[in-house]
Amino acid sequence: MILSVSRRTDIPCCYPEWLLERLRAGFALVRDPIGGRPGRVPLGTDVVDCIVFWTKDPAPLLPYLDEVDRMGYRYYFQFTITPYGRELEPCLRDLEDRVRTFLALSRRLGPGRVVWRYDPILLDERHTAAWHREQFAALCGALSGAADTVTISFLDLYPRLRRAGFRAVTEREARALAAELSPIAAEHGLDIRSCAEPWDLSPQGVPPGACIDGERIRQLCGCGLALSRDRGQRPACLCRESVDIGAYDTCTNGCAYCYADHGRGRKPCDPHSPLLCGALLPGETVRDRRCTSSLDPQLTLY
């Protein structure tokens, strides 16, 4: 099983204590995001083959990584760094501080275990294509050698974002900007990939990538894995199947473009509860989620 922590909220930044308590306990309770039914997800190292951390600032988790290592978990980070500032990312630390955290994490884990995400790319009067070229180049220079891959993705215009005044990025705009970002990434030794885009940007030098990356995970595990494509994601997503233990409407970063915030107000979270937010209702039953290791020692990397 690949554990996703998490597409639904920034657990490394906002809830590292909850995560560590769940890893120590060996399980977490997770509500189905559609039906709300609670399930018990096993978190032992005999089941979890790899953890993929999704975050905009993992600094609060860093003091706990020694313990995560001692437990025997394999993991890598999807680390989003974008330069939008307080207007769109009001609760994040300063960009320079997050870059320093990225560099420190890379020194600890190696560039193959810290993937840089420049995501989402939004366009408006202030954040023009020229602005993105300049900012992307500066970040490539700062992160060169600390990552082997940069993933780009253009803003998905969910209804809440449309109501907030964001606009869609057109195919023509996406192709033009991708063609300009690709050589900048290459100049700094970064392999550039796109994430779940409706257009194949390979002609512009940006082939599609996978965030839950089967090949990266196989390299990390040192053996083969029987991993299926995740059919629960968007049609263009190439990620392998994973189990997510997060909850929507719980992130405290406050990013204006966030797809995981439905504008309903932040749910209360208890670091000592098996559920990230809320509690079991009286008489509510918990189903055991069937999760097994995908490691296949018979499939080698060579």
Q: What is the pLDDT of residues 37-87, one digit of tens each?
A: 999 999 999 999 999 999 999 999 999 999 999 999 999 999 999 999 999
Q: How many structural domains compose the chain?
A: 1
CA–CA dist 95, 204 (Å, integer) = 28
In this structure, is residue 72 part of a structural domain? yes
In this structure, is residue 229 part of a structural domain? yes
Q: Give the orientation angle of helix 171-187 with respect to helix 129-143, to 10 degrees.
A: 30
Q: Which two tokens stand for residue 290?
A: 């069937």
Q: What is the pLDDT of residues 165-205, one digit of tens each?
A: 999 999 999 999 999 999 999 999 999 999 999 999 999 99
CA–CA dist 236, 263 (Å, integer) = 26
Estimate to the nearest angstrom the gap between the alpha carbon of 147 and the chain centroid: 15
In this structure, is residue 34 part of a structural domain? yes
Q: 208-209 and 50-55 as β-strands: parallel, antiparallel, unpaired?
A: unpaired
Write down the pLDDT at residue 266: 67
* pTM for this prediction: 0.95
Domain that holds residue 132: 2-296
From 185, 149, 140, 24, select the one nearest 76 (Cα to Cα). Answer: 149
In this structure, is residue 301 part of a structural domain? no
- Containing 171, the helix (H) or strand (E) segment is helix 171-187
In this structure, is residue 153 part of a structural domain? yes
In this structure, is residue 19 part of a structural domain? yes
In this structure, is residue 118 part of a structural domain? yes
From 162, 230, 147, 228, select the one nearest 196 (Cα to Cα). Answer: 230
